Chain A
Amino acid sequence: MKSDILMVGVGGQGTVLASDILCDVILSAGYDVKKSEIHGMAQRGGSVISHVRIAETVFSPVIPAGSADVIVSFEKMEFLRYLEYINDETILLLNEGKIYPPGAAGGEEEYPDKLIEEKIAIFKKAYILNAFGIADNVFNRKVTSTVMLGKLASVMDIDVNIWKNVIAEKVPSKTVEKNLKAFDAGYNV
């Protein structure tokens, strides 16, 4: 298996933990994996991106332009920032829930609803889910990232039990059950 997966979202949404889980899943499934992300100045509320690369042997930890196989957007507009990574075959997994950027929230800028619609259309395969709503149903918004992982698992060719084992290991022990429920809900949507 060779796959380049971009996970994008907003600081505080759990994209980093989700991409950590994905890395452990890949390793358990017997492939080489590398991940890259930048943290530091990105405080809560900043744009967050994780590159996860899977192959027999991975070299650069960063996905080259036009090479992403899947882009998982944990927030409705965030995938728009990374269009340089996509190609005609890229699959989009999109949470339709919004987190307003300060400019849009402060009234100086508009949330780019039209642009989102226009750009979703360029993907041959786009799965759009109300991950906030699904997460709220299962527990609360904190499991949104696990809902998205469930959806990702449904488009990847890796045994679901490997995913579940890694999630059970990685999330806080009190929330294992809720996270597994969130995973299933995302997987089956």
Chain B
Amino acid sequence: MERKVLSGNAAIARGAYEAGIGLVSSYPGTPSSEITDTVKVYDEIYSEWATNEKVALEVAIGSSIAGTRSMTCMKHVGLNVASDPLMTLSYTGVNAGIVIVVADDPNMFSSQNEQDSRHYARFAKIPMLEPSDSNEAKQFVKIAVEISEKYSTPVLLRSVTRLSHSMSVVDIGERENASRKDLDVNIPKWVMVPANARKRHYFVEERLKNIQNDYNDGILQLTSEELNSKKIGIITTGITYQYVKEALPQASILKLGMVYPLPFKKIQEFCEKVENLFVVEELDPFIENAIRAHGLALQRLNRSVIGELSVEKVSKLFENTDFEVSVFSSKYSDINERLPQRPPNMCPGCSHRGIFYAINRLKLFASGDIGCYTLGLLPPLSAIHSTVCMGASISMAHGIDKGSYGEYARKSVAVIGDSTFLHTGINGLMNSFYNSGTSTVVILDNRITGMTGHQPNPATGISIKGTPAPQVNIETLCRGMGIKNVRIVDPFNVQECMDALKEETAKEELSVIITNRPCIFADKSVISSPYFVIEDKCTGCKACVNLGCPAILWDSEKRLAFIDETLCTGCGLCPKVCRFEAIKQRGE
């Protein structure tokens, strides 16, 4: 059998292939993006980038009705967006199998919150599987499809950043030749008007009981029991299992492959085999609370519900007990705080830098959004003042306008990227227009979904497979809505940006300003010869350094700016802020 070292995300993609899944529709979001980015190479699977997670799940539902096994992948906050179809999909059930992959981000490596998405399984009353390594991740996609079709339920597959972005060895299998089912014409099942939905609610409760019974009886083989020391038993799941194995090598372990519903009979049996029973899980006490509510005796642990677990953290939970614990200690302490940091930053040549410089200069309040441009919050630009969720910038700017009776609309802007605008920002813009808002919306159209790894979107003109695709014109879209004040600016022209921002914020009408430069990763042809600093002309005023471009450096001995020509992309922004004509392009 062929074996490969794959990331959790690549393994989930392989699982989709082997499970005979025929459609994957997703919106990118760290740490889930690479699943669909990997699926796209399989010609047997139709894949697409959807405009948002709700749309993606609805596409999967339609595809299931049409008889094709389907999957959608998203980050944890994406499931909030998709929760509307999810809650009712639980009632309809499926025709062909539906797998919903949700990737949580404990520690918030790249997210705005640390929600524990296991609660969605209980909320929607549907099963959730949680793999502990890449091989299981692949295997669990196949099991999820089986469960989905056997019980007519969508199945959640939960990953976390540490699983999605870790690599381990996977046994590669063949693709199952799943024949497409017929179109499911069944009005009482699929039309969720109250009269039908009331009946389906009974089906939901019955289904959950059946799944739980089959889990208890081992018909669904998703637990594994490892009996070692009788003194200590640990119930655990997912990546946490790995930490437990290493921290407590002598412990007996009950590993749960499905975290909702729970197999209380199996748990009871395990409980009787050990003297002290603990639950070790990451984030909320989801399993622990359910077991306590069921009336089983669990020992307490002083575990924080905040952040990611690790082998060391699990060891520490048991350090003052009689149980055998692996001890890890550092002789040398962490000195990272004393070192110059390498914070995330917008890339050299980033088309967002100029407009943020202008926003900073005009001291505007910027209602921000989710994307690379959120990094505009960092000094020296410090030009993002709020970020809540995808699309919120425009609606929040409208709230700032209406809540201040127009006063702060003159001193603020909404800032949103093209992908985020098409995700959910567009709804906010229609709302502002309809309700006679007077805010100013800056759409940073760099024609790519940057932060998540440069996926194309409807404004890019390229499909998921890299072939030409129809392209949404954002300017026409805004004008088509009926908005009068729509103007395009060059974000590398600081003066033009400042003029546009001043004029549009002064208007007591809704305005949209669209920037027109692509991300350097979307269109590499924009990269041109680098700039350099003429030492004799540089006065050391630091105007260019204050752009926060990684290519512009400061020579503290000479007290002059200089440019790292290997990083410079030739965007031409820095000469526009230099009052001494000290920055020139090579070959000019």
Which A-chain residue is minimally distant from B241 (CB atoms)? A59
Decide: B165 and A38 in contact? CB cutoff 8 A.
yes
**Contact for A66 among B242, B328, B339, CB less than 8 A:** B328
Decide: B165 and A39 in contact? CB cutoff 8 A.
yes
Complex Cα spacing A78 to B140, Å = 38
Residues of A within 8 A of B162 (CB): 36, 61-62
Decide: A40 and B31 in contact? CB cutoff 8 A.
yes
| Interface assignment of A65: CB less than 8 Å from any CB of chain B | yes
Complex Cα spacing A115 to B566, Å = 27
Decide: B553 and A36 in contact? CB cutoff 8 A.
no
Complex Cα spacing A109 to B341, Å = 10
Pick the interface stretch among B65-73, B342-350, B530-538: B342-350
Decide: B169 and A84 in contact? CB cutoff 8 A.
no
Residues of B within 8 A of A77 (CB): 339-340
Residues of A within 8 A of B343 (CB): 46, 102
Residues of B within 8 A of A35 (CB): 5, 166-168
Within 8 A of A (CB), among B163-178: 165-169
| Interface assignment of B329: CB less than 8 Å from any CB of chain A | yes
CB distance from A130 to the nearest CB of B (A): 18
Cβ contacts A93-126/B at 8 Å (1 or 0 each): 0000000111111110111100100000010000
**Contact for A59 among B246, B333, B338, CB less than 8 A:** B246
Given the interface contacts A23-B167, A58-B168, A87-B331, does A102 sit within 8 Å of B310 by beta carbon? no
Decide: A106 and B167 in contact? CB cutoff 8 A.
no
CB distance from B161 to the nearest CB of A (A): 7
| Interface assignment of A173: CB less than 8 Å from any CB of chain B | no
**Contact for B328 among A20, A37, A67, CB less than 8 A:** A67
| Interface assignment of B556: CB less than 8 Å from any CB of chain A | yes
Decide: A111 and B30 in contact? CB cutoff 8 A.
no
Residues of A within 8 A of B202 (CB): none
| Interface assignment of A80: CB less than 8 Å from any CB of chain B | yes
Residues of A within 8 A of B4 (CB): 27
Decide: B554 and A107 in contact? CB cutoff 8 A.
yes
Decide: A46 and B334 in contact? CB cutoff 8 A.
no
Residues of A within 8 A of B375 (CB): 43
Decide: A41 and B110 in contact? CB cutoff 8 A.
yes
Complex Cα spacing A104 to B550, Å = 11
| Interface assignment of A151: CB less than 8 Å from any CB of chain B | no
CB distance from A65 to the nearest CB of B (A): 4
Cβ contacts B521-565/A at 8 Å (1 or 0 each): 000000000000000000000000100101001111001000000
Cβ contacts B143-176/A at 8 Å (1 or 0 each): 0000000000000000001100111110000000
| Interface assignment of A134: CB less than 8 Å from any CB of chain B | no
Cβ contacts B306-332/A at 8 Å (1 or 0 each): 000011100000000000001011111
Complex Cα spacing A24 to B3, Å = 10
Given the interface contacts A60-B243, A65-B330, A106-B554, does A46 sit within 8 Å of B166 by beta carbon? no
**Contact for B110 among A27, A40, A61, A62, CB less than 8 A:** A40
Q: Residues of B within 8 Å of A, CB-based: how many?
A: 56
**Interface secondary structure of B, over-half rule:** loop
**Contact for A36 among B165, B333, B344, CB less than 8 A:** B165
In the complex, which of the residues B331, B451, B559 has the most CB atoms of chain A within 10 Å of its own CB atom?
B331
Cβ contacts B111-144/A at 8 Å (1 or 0 each): 0000000000000000000000100000000000
| Interface assignment of A187: CB less than 8 Å from any CB of chain B | no
| Interface assignment of A86: CB less than 8 Å from any CB of chain B | yes
Decide: A83 and B550 in contact? CB cutoff 8 A.
no
Given the interface contacts A27-B169, A64-B312, does A84 sit within 8 Å of B332 by beta carbon? yes
Complex Cα spacing A177 to B375, Å = 39
Complex Cα spacing A37 to B110, Å = 13
Residues of B within 8 A of A141 (CB): 566
Residues of A within 8 A of B243 (CB): 59-60
Within 8 A of A (CB), among B336-363: 336, 338-347
Residues of A within 8 A of B5 (CB): 20, 23-24, 27, 33, 35
Decide: A66 and B331 in contact? CB cutoff 8 A.
yes
Which B-chain residue is minimally distant from A90 (CB atoms)? B332
Decide: A101 and B340 in contact? CB cutoff 8 A.
yes
Residues of A within 8 A of B342 (CB): 10-11, 45-47, 101-102
| Interface assignment of B402: CB less than 8 Å from any CB of chain A | no
| Interface assignment of B109: CB less than 8 Å from any CB of chain A | yes
A-B contact sample (18 more), CB < 8 A, given A80-B336, A86-B331: A10-B342, A20-B167, A23-B5, A23-B167, A37-B166, A40-B31, A60-B310, A62-B311, A64-B326, A81-B335, A83-B332, A84-B332, A84-B334, A85-B330, A86-B332, A101-B339, A104-B340, A107-B545
B-to-A contact residues, CB < 8 Å: 3-5, 30-31, 109-110, 133, 161-162, 165-169, 239, 242-243, 245-246, 310-312, 326, 328-336, 338-347, 372, 375, 451-452, 545, 548, 550, 553-556, 559, 566
A sample of 28 inter-chain contacts (CB < 8 A) reads A23-B5, A32-B168, A32-B169, A35-B166, A36-B167, A39-B165, A40-B31, A43-B345, A43-B372, A46-B344, A60-B242, A64-B328, A66-B331, A77-B339, A81-B334, A81-B339, A83-B330, A83-B332, A84-B330, A84-B334, A86-B331, A100-B553, A102-B550, A105-B554, A107-B555, A107-B556, A112-B338, A122-B332
